[in-house]
Chains A and B, each alone.
Chain A
């Protein structure tokens, strides 16, 4: 089947404003979802499910969160990991102190706590922008980790400062196998991604982008600056908070505050840049790319060893990874600020016209 939109006329605005206006895209997406939900849990081995796909999904969710704030609303933040930490530790505390609470309820409440923290640390955005705002969110990063390490209540006074996420039980079914944890993560991420997409194509998303692109004009047409910026911080932090809870409960299992250090914040920011600023699809592409890059490099080094008999040592590989990271980030910042999502779109536009060059 050729990739064409010819003959697919949009009779109504509802049809024109679908997430996937082209039928082939809808079919491809449905197949992708079916594979992710039905095939992968059956055929995926433990390593792929729990060491690659689950953290990839969690990273995608956090990237969506940061993308809402930075990509859509234009507020630069380095506090992503802090909001994730709030989500992780609060979900643990809700489960601990209110054991009757369903796990998804705990995740949602944890997300709300992260949203509250996000709003507090978003207050400076009413006065400062760009680099200075990034520095203010950096303060959030350090303050939250400090509080989690120093205030015993958060870790239930554990002497090591490490918490162990409770066992997940949903409707009497224990979520313990890698496949079931993967499925839980996938479900949460898929639903939240859809909600984010809807929100960003509605008035709220347009208000975010308006504030990002031209704040004076936004104010003059009636968009409330304070409300819009704080809402962006709240929603973004909610997403990061839920991502943090999933990270703790479905991936790490035992968690210390240091797991959410500045490194993670930067990693998520890189995923936004590489994937595409202001794109939900791009958030997945960016997260996927950066999660898979080390694995890909490993494969390449294995292949080199096999064919040329040359051994690439581990230190060299991780340096190589950093170099490629840096190069890519510079490339995307300078050449294609809209990231992989844009490259994907350009590819599709070409395909739509293929085989004619114009």
Chain B
């Protein structure tokens, strides 16, 4: 009868030592097994009985090497499934080449949660307000998934299918997040609006990446979090700017388009109207930071 956070349900805990072990376990048990990275999303969900209770928790933390973060100019950035949010926020490659990812990582939760939680877990739980998602969308990242049918690469824009829903099959796991090398001269930013100065979920998140060359806007990508069933790109706003001369008027127009393209909900965190208004404000700020300042 009670609907409060409960003690954890009884589960079997499995700690594979290799990827193969993990994958064959997934293959055998499918939806009865759940992958467990930092647990900062999964554990509260299990305690709240908000998710199907699996029979098995498959803890990835026994497998060596899954926490790697690597970078080279050709291949870009590769983030392993156990790379923590803290590791990403403090990684020099990220700080130097992907400011929007750095800003997203540092805006999340608290130091304790950042030390445990992962980017992989953040995307796989697929909540609309996930902070890493807009930045990854704007950077046109892709994810490498490994499962029974083999390996596939999915652009992040096709990964989310609804609130808490992704294209992941029951026996698949996310093996890597890949982010292409930044285009020369490009800039990026992630802006998060939340009530307090820390430890809040985003009311609105806006990421923008793009280049301004000789006053002309190029390769502009704008993504929004917390204002639609999934994190989204806003193509109409991008099209307004792409290849055009950067003026206050055009930034204004693109920001208005971003606000009109989203479909926020009314809930206890914020009203629909406020969320939409804030998409406009944050998009305008983000575009100014990327294209003007």
A and B associate: no
Interface, chain A (partner B; CB < 8 A): none
